[in-house]
Copies of this chain bind each other. A is one copy, B any other.
Amino acid sequence: MRSYEVKNRTNTEDIKSLRLVTAIKTPYLPDGRFDLEAYDALVNMQIEHGAEGVIVGGTTGEGQLMSWDEHIMLIGHTVNCFGASIKVIGNTGSNSTQEAIHATEQGFAVGMHAALHINPYYGKTSLEGMISHFESVLPMGPTIIYNVPSRTGQDIPPLVIQSVARSPNLAGVKECVGNDRIEQYTSDGIIVWSGNDDQCHDSRWDYGATGVISVTSNLVPGLIRELMFCGKNPLLNSRLLPLIEWLFHEPNPIGLNTALAQLGVVRPVFRLPYVPLPLAKRVEFVNIVKKLGRGNFVGEKDVQVLDDDDFILIGRY
Q: Chain A: residues with CB nearer than 8 A to chain B?
A: 1-6, 29, 31-37, 39-40, 59, 62, 64-65, 68-70, 72-74, 76-77, 79-83, 95-98, 101-102, 105-106, 109-111, 120-126, 128-130, 132-133, 136, 149-154, 250-251, 254, 271-275, 277-278, 313, 315-317
A251 contact set on B, CB distance < 8 A: 123-126, 154
A82 contact set on B, CB distance < 8 A: 5
A275 contact set on B, CB distance < 8 A: 125-126, 128-129, 132
19 of the cross-chain contacts (CB-CB < 8 Å) are A1-B34, A1-B35, A2-B36, A3-B36, A3-B39, A3-B40, A72-B73, A73-B109, A76-B79, A80-B111, A96-B273, A97-B315, A98-B315, A126-B250, A128-B278, A130-B273, A132-B272, A132-B275, A152-B153
Q: How far is the CB of A75 from chain B (nearest CB, A)?
A: 8
User: With the chains together, A278 CA to B277 CA distance in Å?
Assistant: 47
Q: Are B101 and A316 in contact (CB under 8 A)?
A: yes
Select from chain B the residue with minimum beta-carbon distance to A313: B132
Q: Are B126 and A76 in contact (CB under 8 A)?
A: no
A136 contact set on B, CB distance < 8 A: 272, 315
**Contact of A69 (CB < 8 Å), options: B68, B74, B124, B277:** B68
Q: Are B76 and A133 in contact (CB under 8 A)?
A: no
| For the complex of A and B, 9 pairs with smallest distance between CB atoms | A76-B76, A97-B272, A3-B36, A76-B110, A80-B111, A124-B251, A133-B273, A64-B123, A5-B81
| Also in contact, A133 and B272, with CB within 8 A (given A76-B111, A80-B79, A81-B6) | yes
Q: How far is the CB of A227 from chain B (nearest CB, A)?
A: 26
Q: How far is the CB of A247 from chain B (nearest CB, A)?
A: 13
User: With the chains together, A150 CA to B275 CA distance in Å?
Assistant: 24
User: With the chains together, A110 CA to B36 CA distance in Å?
Assistant: 11
**Contact of A36 (CB < 8 Å), options: B109, B124, B272:** B109
Q: How far is the CB of A5 from chain B (nearest CB, A)?
A: 4
User: With the chains together, A254 CA to B122 CA distance in Å?
Assistant: 14
Q: A64-B120, A77-B109, A122-B152 are in contact. List 20 more A-B contacts (CB 8 A).
A: A1-B33, A1-B36, A3-B40, A5-B81, A6-B80, A33-B105, A65-B96, A72-B76, A76-B80, A80-B80, A80-B111, A97-B272, A125-B273, A126-B254, A128-B278, A129-B274, A129-B275, A132-B273, A149-B153, A154-B251
